[in-house]
A and B are shown apart, each in its own frame.
Chain A
Amino acid sequence: MSPELKNIALKDAPSSTDEFIKGLWRENPVFVQVIGMCPVLAVSNSAENALAMGLATAFVLVMSNVLISSLRNFIPKQVRIATYILIIATFVTMVDYAIQAISVDLHKSLGAFISLIVVNCMILSRAEAFASKNTVSKSAIDGLGMGFGFVFALFCLGSVREILGNGSIFGFPIFPESYQEWIIMILPAGGFFTLAFWLLIFNHYKLKKAKS
C-alpha cells in the first residue's frame, strides 16, 4: 500500500485544510487521478484559455458540490446520477452566459468545451464520491481544492504550450521578434506531449518522496 492510500484509509476526521490540500496536490484531478482529460487537452493551448476554462470548471464544481451535498438526503438513490447532471447543467448554463457576457472572443475560443463541462467526469466523480456523502462545508472545501487543483494543472499545461508554441504568455510576447514558434505545441499533439511531460515530473517527485 502506498503511503497516500494508507493516509486516506487511516484518517478519521481530516482537517479542512487537509481536504483542500488533497485536491490541490495529493489527489490532483489531472496530475494524479488523470480524469477530466477532454478539456485539459483541448483548450490548454494558451494560458488565457486554460485559466478561463479552469475557473469555469472550478466554479461549477464548488456550486454543484454544495447543492448536491445539501440535497443529499432528498435525492432518491435510483435517479441520483440524472439529478447530479441536472444540477451541474444548471451551473454550466450560468457560466456559459456569464462568459458570453464578459468576453465574446473568449467564448468563441473555448467553444463547445464550456457546454461540455456538464459531462466532465471530475465534477461527477466528486459529486458521487464526496458530496453525496459529506457535509455541505466539507463538500465546499473539497470542491475548492479540486477546482483549484484543476486550475493549477490547466495553467501548467497552458503556459508551457503558449510559451513554446506562440512565444508569449497571456498574449504578451516574451521573446524577441526572431523567436521560432513550435507550431506543434498549440496543435492537439502538443497537448499530449505537455501532459506527459508534467505527469513525468509529478511521478518522479512522488517516487522520490516515497523513497525518502
Chain B
Amino acid sequence: MFSKTLHISTSPHIRKGVSTDTIMQNVVWAMMPVLIFAVFSFGINALLVIVTAVVSSVLTEHVLCKWSNKESTISDWSAVITGILLGLTLPPIFPLWMTFLGGVFSVAIGKFVFGGLGYNLFNPALVGRAFLQAAFPVAITTWQSAFLEGRFFSISSSVLAFPFAEPKVDSISGATPLSAFKFDHVMTDSSDLALGLISGSTGETSAVIIILGGIYLIARKMMNWRIPVSILSTVFVLSGILYLIDDTIYPSPLFMLFSGGLMLGAVFMATDMVGSPITPLGVVIYGFFIGLLVVVIRVWGGLPEGVMYAILLGNALTPQIDNFIRPRVYGTKKTKS
C-alpha cells in the first residue's frame, strides 16, 4: 500500500496560487484608473452609470444563482468586471434604467444561459451593450462633452429618466471624434485623443490610461499580450495603407488607434480569457480578424464605430480558430479536423 506521505498525482506539480478571483481582482485594479478618469472627465453622471451597471450585473448574477439553486458566484468578481466594462462602454448621460436593463441582459443572456463563467461564447458586457444599441439607438449615441463646468454636482435629467420613459437631453452634447469624422469629416487632434480630452463613452476616452492598465496586467502575466498587440498593429497597418493611398478620404492611423472604443476593446474586452483562442497562433489570427473588421466597419460601414461588433464576431469565430489551429499531439500524425 502507499504510504500516507506519498502523493501520486498527474502534472502540473508546481502551482502558483492564482485563482480566478485573484485574476479578476487584478483586472478590476487595472481598470481603476480608467474609472477614475471617466469620473474626472464626465463627472457624477459617469459615476452613476458605472455604479448602476455594476450593481445590476452583480444583483442579476446573485438572483439567478439563487433561483437555480446554485451557490452564488458573485465572489469571483467576474460580474463586477462585466458591470464595469458595460458602464465604461456607455455614454455618460445614458439613462440609469437602461443601464440597469443592460446589466441584467449582460449577465442573464450573455453569460448565465450558457452556463455561467467559463461557458459564455461572447463577452457578456458587449452582449449587453449590443442589446442596448439595438434597443435604444438614440439614447446610446447621445454624448456629453467632456470637462463641463459643474460636472461633479449636477446630474443630467437624461440620466434620471423615469423607468421606461424617454430620456430628455438637457446638457450640452458633443459629437465623438469618430462620428465627427464620419459625418462631418472633422479630424480631432491626435494628442487630444491620446490624453482623452474628448467626448465619448465613459471609459473609452483616454488611450494612455487604458494602455497603462494593460501594461500592468501584462506585467503580472494575467493577460495575453498578443491579443491587444495584434489587434492594434492590424488596425495601424491597414489604416496606414489606406492613408497612404488617399489621405483626404481616409483617417490617419494614429486617429484610428486612439479614437473610439478601440483601446478599451483591445485591452480589456478582446482579452477576455473565455472568448479568445488558446494557442498563440490562434490568438494572432483572432486579433487580425478583429482589427480587420474594425477598419472595415469604421471606413466603409454605416456606423461610426464598430469595435463592439468586431469583438463579438471575433468571439464567435474563436471555437473555429481553436479547432483549425489545434496543435499536433506529440508522437501522432496530423489529423484532419
Bind each other: yes
Interface flag for A180 (CB, 8 Å): yes
Of A47-55, A84-92, A100-108, A181-189, the segment with at least 4 beta carbons within 8 Å of chain B is A181-189
- Chain B residues 156 to 193 lying within 8 A of chain A, measured CB to CB, are 161-162, 164-167
Interface flag for A202 (CB, 8 Å): no
Known: A178-B166, A184-B131, A184-B135. 13 other contacts (CB 8 A): A175-B164, A176-B165, A178-B162, A179-B165, A180-B98, A180-B165, A180-B166, A180-B167, A183-B134, A183-B135, A183-B136, A187-B134, A193-B109
Q: B164 contacts A184, CB within 8 Å? A: no
Number of interface residues of B (CB under 8 A): 14
Residues from chain A with Cβ under 8 Å of B150 in the complex: none
Chain A interface: which size bin? 10 to 19
Q: A185 contacts B135, CB within 8 Å? A: yes
Docked complex Cα distance between A184 and B136 (Å) = 8
Residues from chain A with Cβ under 8 Å of B131 in the complex: 184
Return 19 A-B CB contacts under 8 Å, by A number: A178-B165, A179-B165, A180-B98, A180-B136, A180-B139, A180-B161, A180-B165, A180-B166, A180-B167, A182-B135, A182-B136, A183-B134, A183-B136, A183-B137, A184-B131, A184-B135, A187-B134, A189-B134, A193-B109
CB closest chain-B residue, reference A176? B165
Interface code B128-145, partner A: CB below 8 Å = 1, 0 otherwise?
000100111101000000
Residues from chain B with Cβ under 8 Å of A187 in the complex: 134
Residues of B with Cβ closer than 8 Å to A?
Answer: 98, 109, 131, 134-137, 139, 161-162, 164-167
Min C-beta distance of B104 to chain A, whole Å: 13
Min C-beta distance of B83 to chain A, whole Å: 21
- Of the listed residues A180, A182, A185, A193, the one surrounded by the most CB atoms of chain B closer than 10 A to its CB is A180
Interface Cβ pair total, 8 Å cutoff: 29
Min C-beta distance of B68 to chain A, whole Å: 12
Min C-beta distance of A199 to chain B, whole Å: 12
Residues of A with Cβ closer than 8 Å to B?
Answer: 175-176, 178-180, 182-185, 187, 189, 193
Min C-beta distance of B156 to chain A, whole Å: 16
Contact of B134 among A175, A178, A179, A184 (CB under 8 A): A184
Residues from chain B with Cβ under 8 Å of A176 in the complex: 165
Residues from chain A with Cβ under 8 Å of B162 in the complex: 178
Min C-beta distance of A50 to chain B, whole Å: 20
Q: B136 contacts A179, CB within 8 Å? A: no
CB closest chain-A residue, reference B168? A178
CB closest chain-B residue, reference A185? B135
Docked complex Cα distance between A183 and B140 (Å) = 12
Docked complex Cα distance between A180 and B135 (Å) = 10
Residues from chain B with Cβ under 8 Å of A182 in the complex: 135-136
CB closest chain-A residue, reference B161? A180
Min C-beta distance of B163 to chain A, whole Å: 9
What are the 9 A-B residue pairs with the smallest beta carbon separation, nearest first? A184-B135, A184-B134, A180-B166, A178-B165, A182-B135, A178-B166, A183-B135, A180-B165, A183-B137
CB closest chain-B residue, reference A178? B165
CB closest chain-A residue, reference B109? A193
